[in-house]
């Protein structure tokens, strides 16, 4: 079986797709305690032998980890993950490499120096493409990552992929980087789904999956905040937010509903298109975010973590751990909504990992490694 190492594992969205593509994940590295609870529950349920390191990745010694995993440089097939995106995100302060979270991107380089994996796969927000480097030049952070991986002998490719193109009920564009040791062009997966009005191919693609399709079959959520259900299908909407979302039409947002009282809209401006936002049953979701929780298309409540998981492409058998936070609540680490929003949609991870699997198989046949 092909081997993999997961960095910045989060709630395990990327892990799911990588495993589905036939890889054995030797170890997960994740600092967030609630994400680690989620990962442990999956490992226990499925009897996985994955080593979980709950610690700051900067404190992990790759040499010691290779020894613990009993592997040598070059043995690892895939090194993958998505480092924190806040320093590159358009929604954040965009500190880039002046933010220590931005520097975590280069942990992939540090681990690659020791493990020398055959393939590296990295997910990041689109802002990484223009983020300034140490010199202040736009695009410098991305160029530095490319230069450092190429110095290690990797062929570097990147592409922006939209999750909706791969059967996820969510429009979510992210940059995916695939760097390979073999001097051969890796091909990113072809899309399997498209918009209703773009069926121009001789062999039409599947239509985008909608929020209505993703949520189909779910019962009404629990309202018992003192007894969190295992499947995380719970409504934790504060009474004040229920009142403010009343009258907002399906697929719209509070600031755009000018017929509603000014006291209900409050200080929202026309730019606040994601705040107090209802999704539409007939369209894919907007990109799930950490800052706001989207509202149900027709009910006066937030979407539940389970509904978020459906929209993100998680299987119903996958269970999250940790608290569920209301909009005004504060949780030091990642609550369940943010665990989902921070993760790579499993179907996208699977599509990429499957192409990596094919790539590795073709390179083995042609004996092109090193």
User: From CA 312, how far away is CA 283, in angstroms rounded?
Assistant: 14
Active site residue 85: yes
DSSP-derived letter for residue 232 is -
The residue behind tokens 């993950």 is 81
For the chain, the farthest-separated pair of C-alpha atoms sits apart, in whole angstroms, at: 69
User: From CA 252, how far away is CA 188, in angstroms rounded?
Assistant: 34
Q: Which residues contact 47 (CB under 8 A, 6 or more apart)?
A: none
The residue behind tokens 């969510």 is 170
Task: List, as one string, the DSSP characters of 172-228.
Answer: -EEEEEEEESSSS---PPPP-EE-TT---SSSPPEEPPPHHHHHTT--PPB--TTS-
Q: Which residues contact 59 (CB under 8 A, 6 or more apart)?
A: none
Closest CA to 92 of 122, 133, 128, 57: 128
DSSP-derived letter for residue 30 is E
Strands 155-162 vs 173-180: parallel, antiparallel or unpaired: antiparallel
DSSP-derived letter for residue 86 is T
Strand order across the 51-54 sheet: 51-54, 23-30, 2-7, 78-81, 119-124, 173-180, 155-162
Angle (nearest 5°) at CA 171 between 169 and 175? 125
User: From CA 107, how far away is CA 353, in angstroms rounded?
Assistant: 20
**Which residue is catalytic, options 35, 36, 63, 85?**
85
Q: What are the tokens at 131? A: 């983020």
> Which residues are catalytically annotated?
85
């Amino acid at each position: 079986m092909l081997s993999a190492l997961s960095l910045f594992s989060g709630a395990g969205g990327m892990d799911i797709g990588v495993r589905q593509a036939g890889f054995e994940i030797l170890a997960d590295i994740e600092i967030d305690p609630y994400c680690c609870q989620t990962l442990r529950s999956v490992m226990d349920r499925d009897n996985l032998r994955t080593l979980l390191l709950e610690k700051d990745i900067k404190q992990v010694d790759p040499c010691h980890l290779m020894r613990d995993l009993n592997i040598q440089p070059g043995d690892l097939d895939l090194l993958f993950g998505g480092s924190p995106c806040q320093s590159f995100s358009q929604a954040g302060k965009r500190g880039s490499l002046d933010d220590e979270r931005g520097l975590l991107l280069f942990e992939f380089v540090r681990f690659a120096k020791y493990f020398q994996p055959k393939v590296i796969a990295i997910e990041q927000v689109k802002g990484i493409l223009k983020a300034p480097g140490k010199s202040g030049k736009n695009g410098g952070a991305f160029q530095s990552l490319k230069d450092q991986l190429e110095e290690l002998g990797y062929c570097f490719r990147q592409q922006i992929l939209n999750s909706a193109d791969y059967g996820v009920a969510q429009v979510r564009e992210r940059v995916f980087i695939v760097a390979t040791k073999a001097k051969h062009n890796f091909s990113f997966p072809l899309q399997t789904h498209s918009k209703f009005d773009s069926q121009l191919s001789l062999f039409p693609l599947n239509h985008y999956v909608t929020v209505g399709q993703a949520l189909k079959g779910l019962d009404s959520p629990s309202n018992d905040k003192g007894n969190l259900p295992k499947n995380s299908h719970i409504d934790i909407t504060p009474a004040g937010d229920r009142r403010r979302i009343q009258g907002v039409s399906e697929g719209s947002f509070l600031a755009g509903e000018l017929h509603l009282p000014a006291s209900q809209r409050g200080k929202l401006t026309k730019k606040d298109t994601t705040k107090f936002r209802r999704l539409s049953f007939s369209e894919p979701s907007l990109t799930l975010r950490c800052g706001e929780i989207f509202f149900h298309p027709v009910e006066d409540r937030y979407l539940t973590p389970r509904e978020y998981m459906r929209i993100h492409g998680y299987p119903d058998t996958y269970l999250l751990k940790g608290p569920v936070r209301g909009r005004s609540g504060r949780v030091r680490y990642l609550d369940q909504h943010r665990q989902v929003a921070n993760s790579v949609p499993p179907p996208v991870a699977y599509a990429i990992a499957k192409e990596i699997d094919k790539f590795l198989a073709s390179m083995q046949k042609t004996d092109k490694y090193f």
